Chains A and B, each alone.
Chain A
Amino acid sequence: MSEPRLVEVRRNVLKQNDVIARSLREQFREAGVFVVSLVSSPGSGKTTFLEKTLTLLQPQYRVAALVGDLATENDAVRLARSKAPVKQITTGTLCHLEAAMVQNALSDWDLHQLDFLFIENVGNLVCPSSYDLGESLRLVLMSVTEGEDKPLKYPTIFNSADVAVITKNELAAAVEFDWETARKSIESVRPGMKIFRLSAKTGEGMTEYLEFLGQQLRERRSVVLR
């Protein structure tokens, strides 16, 4: 048998996902919908935060959500209380959403009828970082109960995100949350990252974050129109 020889190839392992994500991004841009994906640990309050976001945006904007969950439809049921269109993507044993799942879930939705689309990823701070979903903005959520060093423990996902939201601020005093340490942790793994500190439960700090989203949508549309 001949000696093994080395042949050069060039294959991006995630190419298939990236190609679909690119086409989704183009579709979103063309429809003028601003797409926000949410990543966080399990239990950080993603669903409560999203329910509040949908409810508060609704008087002014047309909003909808896709929700990734391993096995249940509980999140979609909770989010449906906001009266916004919500669709569940049950991933089975898969720990993250992929662009193809988003594409399939959206196949019968008219994106032109939307201002904002939220995509709630599976609760996981590791796996979702590798998969582009075509989103306009990736938002990473952490709660004050998770500890200030969370960003240092999961630098890849924080680095891949555009905005950080620290929630459950109503519990900050009880858990002696050190805001400055948390801010430094985020700044270290993602310099210049925009950070919102809020409570989805009491509504504190939500206004600033919602205004930011509105601003992003307006900027996006002015770019498209130009």
Chain B
Amino acid sequence: MHELSIAMGIVDAAMDEARQRGVQVSAVHLRLGALSGVVKDALLFCYEVACQDTPLAGSRLIVEDVPVVVFCSRCNDTRVLGSVQSFSCPECNTPTMDVRKGKELEVFALEVEE
């Protein structure tokens, strides 16, 4: 269970951005890749804990799930994987390790009040 330290990292990053801008954060938007190694439900639970006694207390964490996108050399195109248990092109079944998306663990937006 490393989601608590990840949640604290999210809170730190959001607080830092809020301080620079002189704003109050009411929600944090996070991109979470299917290959990030982070479990969403555990993260949402830990986020509340991590926010306690910080300026972000009471704020929400909004998670945008990012599926794994690979490049298939046979199709010469990117494809979305249906499952992280099978790294093969969903169209032509060619195995691929050319991962283009899915490792994200990134705060990409904040809902703020002045």
Contact = CB atoms under 8 A, between A and B. Distances in A.
A126 interface: yes
B2 A130 contact: yes
A7 B21 contact: yes
The B interface is mostly helix, strand or loop, or mixed, namely mixed
B12 to A, nearest CB: 9
Most chain B Cβ neighbours within 10 Å, of A8, A96, A130, A192: A130
A190 B38 contact: no
A9 B18 CA distance: 10
Contacts of B113: 1-2, 4-5
Contact of A159 (B2, B10, B16, B35): B35
Q: Is the interface of A mostly helix, strand, loop or mixed?
A: mixed
A59 to B, nearest CB: 35
Contacts of B14: 11
Contact of A14 (B9, B26, B109, B111): B9
Interface in A94-137: 94-96, 126-127, 129-130
Interface residues of B, number: 39
B13 A13 contact: yes
B106 A12 contact: yes
A2 B113 CA distance: 7
A2 B111 CA distance: 12
B48 to A, nearest CB: 17
Contacts of A174: none
Output the residue of A2, A4, A6, A127 with the most chain B CB within 10 A.
A4
Contacts of B49: none
Contacts of B27: 4
A13 B107 contact: yes
A28 B35 CA distance: 26
A11 B17 CA distance: 9
Interface in B23-38: 23, 26-27, 29-30, 35-38
A213 interface: no
Interface of B: 1-2, 5-6, 9-10, 13-14, 16-17, 21, 23, 26-27, 29-30, 35-39, 84-88, 95-97, 105-114
* Closest CB pairs A-B (n = 6): A191-B95, A129-B37, A130-B37, A127-B2, A11-B13, A11-B107
Interface of A: 1-2, 4-14, 16, 94-96, 126-127, 129-130, 152, 155-157, 159-160, 187-192
Given A4-B26, A95-B2, A127-B2, 6 more contacts: A1-B113, A9-B109, A10-B108, A11-B108, A13-B30, A191-B88
